[in-house]
Each structure stands twice: as C-alpha cells, then as structure tokens.
C-alpha cells in the first residue's frame, strides 16, 4: 500500500503499453486502420467508441476513485446529464435544494420532457428526504459540501435510506475529490465529478468523470457516452493525465491554505460569517469530518454590508475574479452575479446567497501572500 503521491505516479498504467513512452501519448486520431474486415487484432476502431489516450485516463480515474469502472466525459455537466438519464420515463429523483445550478437547470427544464420529475429537498434532514420518496422515485442525488454555502450531507445515512427504499444513490464529489472523500465506501452507487476543477487543477480543461462498481450501470453509461457523443477530446484527456499526477501535493497545499484563511477570516470584524466545513463553528463540521479527510479547499464568506463589494474585489490582487474553482491559482467568485445570477434576489436570499457573499477556491500560492492580500482588501 503506497502513499497518495506515489500512487498518483505509479499505481495505474502510466507507461504507454504500445511504445513504452513515459507520458501516455496523445493518440490524436479519429479512426484506426484495419488490416482486414472484422480485424480483432485492433483494440480501437473509432475515437468516439474509445481511444488509447482517453482509455488511459479512464484507467487512471478508476484507480483514483477506487472503482471498477470510470468513464470520461466532455464536461462535468455531460457526466451529470448522462447519469441522470439513467432515470426512466415516469420516474422521480430527489436532489439537494442547493444542487449545482447546471444540474438544477437540466433537471428542471430537460428531464420533464421525458416525464421525469424531481423534488429539491433539504439534505441535512433525513426525515425530509424520506418524506419526499414516492412510489416512482428511482434516485437520490447528493452533492456535498454544497455550493456556495458548503452545506454538508451525511452520505452514509442517505445511502442507507436509499438502500432501504431500493433507490440508486449518485454523489457529485467535485469539491472534495476522491482523495479526501470516498462515497463508494459510504454506500454510493455512482460517483461523479467535474474534472474541470481539482482533478485537472490548472483551469485549462473542461471535463467530467463518472465512476461505478456496477457493471450494468457502466454498460449503460458507456452506451450513453457513445450515443450522446459527449466524449472527452484527446488533448484534454492528456492534460488531465498530466494534471492528476500532482493532485496530492496540490490538494495538500490548497487545503492547508483554505483552513488557515478560514481561521483568519473568522477573526476579522469586517467578515460577518465564514462557511468552511473544516471550522468547528460550521454546522456540518462533525458529519463532514467523519466522512472526509479535511475541510477541502473551498470556503465562502460574507463581508459586512457596509462594504462596497466592487471596491473590495478591486482591491483583491492575487486570487483571480472568476467563476469555477479547483485551479492552482486562487479563484474568488461572487455567487450573486455569477453562479446564482439566474435566480431572483428573493430566491437568492432564501438560499442564503446574499450580495455580499464571496466564495474562495484556494490555490497553492504562499499563504502569507494570500492572507496579506485579503487583509489589505478588507481594510
């Protein structure tokens, strides 16, 4: 049993089996020539059905997720929408109230065309989840910690409830990565992530991953991958293969920075509230720490209303102001005008997404520089 960093460099097929290259090459091809009809000597036929570079990434992902199967998709949303298509016509899905906006939009606008309905519930209440289970419910979808308020769901308890009712559990594990949170060990059937975020880690790729131990689900997902065609491009697969090798050391530094910055922000009078599951003051701290290795690299905070948010962001110089998270550089987001802009002010207020709420995805910069930068901006 090796450590995380050794494993990420050696414990899956990292050497190209066709050439011995120490970096899996980019097999930048759409098709593969055959020497005869029905050529069984060829493993690959057409890149939408499979490609050696993408296959290498999928093997790497299966190692990372400790799953039997993993499939790569063209975005986190492609992974999510393909998984949600496991629901049959006439069925019903339960999701968190504060599920990722794209997932919410897909479930609310696309799935109803297939006669699939959904309930958005407070996942911190098992009773609430159970009360929403209908005879046609087929799936409980978890996302923990949530975006942007880092609400925590008890994965094991929800999976047990789902098993009791013979429902499938799907977990969006993007915020924690499989290094720090392992939903399969807690009973999940399918785990998915936006690999755009920490897994790739360099803000230069959009990608998604679906992992499972269930052969039937894998076969269904492979069919969807092939037929909907949301496959990952070769160049992007190669970039992620490179990015994932440093996932361990990147995450270690990002999480360290996040914990220290959350503790620092908690001491500031100009900050009214800090949301970070690694803080003892966080309402979901105990559950989160029982199912994850640490608080993760994302935190949110509310600055005093008397602050001008535009002025605050103009004074933050190190984190880039942008949507997304999980890059080596710190990323500051403003949910009210970015991820949650499509909601009305009333809907946002109901969710706790106020105009003075900011989300910080901590990168690997020097901690003292990040703290000095935020401190200066908050003055």
238 binding ligand PLP? (CB under 6 A): no
Strands 117-121 and 92-96: parallel
The 87-106 contact track toward ligand PLP, x by CB under 6 A, reads: -------------x-x----
Q: What angle do CA 141, 136, 73 make, to 5 degrees?
A: 35
254 binding ligand PLP? (CB under 6 A): no
Stretch that binds ligand PLP, among 75-83, 132-140, 227-235, 258-266 (CB under 6 A): 75-83
Minimal distance, residue 345 CB to ligand PLP, in Å: 22
For the chain, how big is the Rg over CA atoms in Å?
A: 21
Q: According to CB under 6 A, which residues from 6 to 65 bind ligand PLP?
A: none
197 is catalytic: yes
Size of the site for ligand PLP (CB under 6 A): 14
Contact 104, 339 (CB under 8 A): no
Give the DSSP per-residue string, 82-149: HHHTTSPTT-EEEEETT--HHHHHIIIIIGGGGT-EEEEE-TT-HHHHHHT--TTEEEEEEESS-TTT
Under 8 Å CB-to-CB from 184, ≥6 apart: which residues?
Answer: 65, 66, 67, 191, 211, 213
Minimal distance, residue 39 CB to ligand PLP, in Å: 36
208 binding ligand PLP? (CB under 6 A): yes
Q: According to CB under 6 A, which residues from 281 to 340 bind ligand PLP?
A: 324
206 binding ligand PLP? (CB under 6 A): yes
- Candidate list 12, 27, 154, 172, residue with the active-site label: 172
E strand intervals along the chain: 69-73, 92-96, 117-121, 137-143, 168-172, 190-194, 208-212, 271-275, 298-303, 320-321, 331-333, 357-361
SS3 state of residue 61? helix
Stretch that binds ligand PLP, among 73-81, 233-241, 243-251, 260-268 (CB under 6 A): 73-81
Minimal distance, residue 206 CB to ligand PLP, in Å: 5
The enclosing H or E element of 323 equals: none
- Candidate list 182, 197, 253, 348, residue with the active-site label: 197
Task: Please report, for residues 70, 96, 319, 367, 378, the alpha-carbon distance to residue 374 in angstroms, rounded to integers and kept in the order given.
Answer: 39, 31, 9, 11, 6
196 binding ligand PLP? (CB under 6 A): yes
- Candidate list 26, 48, 226, 268, residue with the active-site label: 48
Strands 168-172 and 69-73: unpaired
Q: Given the complex with ligand PLP, which of 75 and 169 has the nearer CB atom? A: 75
In the complex, which residue's CB is closest to ligand PLP? 76
Crossing angle, helix 52-65 and helix 234-244, to 10 degrees? 40
The 107-146 contact track toward ligand PLP, x by CB under 6 A, reads: ------------------------------------x---
Q: According to CB under 6 A, which residues from 150 to 189 bind ligand PLP?
A: 172, 174
> What is the rounded CA–CA span in Å between residue 78 and residue 175?
17
200 binding ligand PLP? (CB under 6 A): no
42 is catalytic: no
128 is catalytic: no
> What is the rounded CA–CA span in Å between residue 27 and residue 238?
9
Q: Among 51, 137, 181, 194, which residue interacts with ligand PLP (rule: CB under 6 A)?
A: 194
Minimal distance, residue 297 CB to ligand PLP, in Å: 13
Q: Given the complex with ligand PLP, which of 74 and 212 has the nearer CB atom? A: 74
172 is catalytic: yes
Crossing angle, helix 215-228 and helix 76-84, to 10 degrees? 120
Task: Please report, for residues 181, 295, 304, the alpha-carbon distance to residue 74 in angstroms, rounded to integers and kept in the order given.
Answer: 23, 28, 39
277 binding ligand PLP? (CB under 6 A): no
Question: Which residues share a beta bridge with 140?
Answer: 94, 169
> Would you name the residues annotated as active-site residues?
48, 100, 172, 197
Residues of this chain that interact with ligand PLP (CB under 6 A) are 75-77, 100, 102, 143, 147, 172, 174, 194, 196, 206, 208, 324
């Amino acid at each position: 049993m090796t450590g995380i960093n050794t494993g990420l460099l050696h414990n899956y097929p990292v050497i190209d089996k066709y050439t011995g290259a120490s970096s899996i090459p980019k097999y930048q091809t759409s098709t593969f020539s055959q020497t005869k009809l029905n050529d069984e000597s060829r493993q690959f036929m057409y890149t939408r059905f499979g490609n050696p570079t993408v296959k290498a990434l999928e093997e790497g992902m299966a190692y990372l997720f400790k799953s039997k199967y993993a499939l790569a998709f063209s975005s986190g949303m492609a992974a999510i929408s393909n998984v949600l298509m496991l629901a049959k016509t006439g069925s019903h899905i339960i999701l968190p109230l504060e599920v990722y906006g794209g997932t919410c939009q897909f479930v609310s606008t696309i799935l109803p065309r297939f006669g699939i309905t959904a309930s958005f519930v407070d996942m911190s209440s098992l009773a609430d989840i159970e009360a929403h289970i209908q005879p046609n419910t087929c799936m409980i979808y978890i996302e923990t910690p949530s975006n942007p308020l880092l609400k925590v769901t008890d994965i094991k308890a929800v999976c047990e409830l789902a098993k009791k009712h013979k429902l499938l559990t799907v977990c969006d594990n993007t915020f924690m990565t499989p290094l720090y949170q392992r939903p399969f060990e807690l009973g999940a059937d399918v785990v998915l992530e936006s690999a755009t975020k920490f897994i790739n880690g360099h803000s230069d790729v959009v990608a998604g991953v679906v992992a499972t131990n269930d052969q039937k689900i894998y076969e269904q997902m492979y069919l969807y991958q092939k037929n909907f065609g949301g496959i990952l491009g070769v160049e992007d697969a190669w970039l992620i293969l490179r990015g994932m090798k440093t996932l361990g050391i990147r995450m270690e530094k990002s999480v360290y920075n996040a914990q220290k910055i959350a503790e620092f922000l908690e001491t500031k009078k100009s900050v009214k509230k800090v949301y970070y599951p690694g803080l003892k003051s966080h309402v979901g701290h105990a559950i989160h720490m029982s199912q994850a290795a640490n608080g993760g690299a994302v935190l949110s905070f509310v600055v005093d209303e008397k602050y001008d948010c535009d002025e605050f962001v103009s004074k933050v110089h190190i984190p880039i102001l942008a949507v997304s998270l999980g890059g080596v550089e710190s990323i500051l987001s403003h949910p009210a005008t970015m991820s949650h802009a499509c909601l009305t002010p009333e809907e946002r207020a109901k969710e706790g997404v106020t105009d003075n709420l900011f989300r910080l995805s901590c990168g690997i910069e020097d901690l003292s520089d990040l703290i000095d930068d935020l401190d200066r901006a908050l003055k």
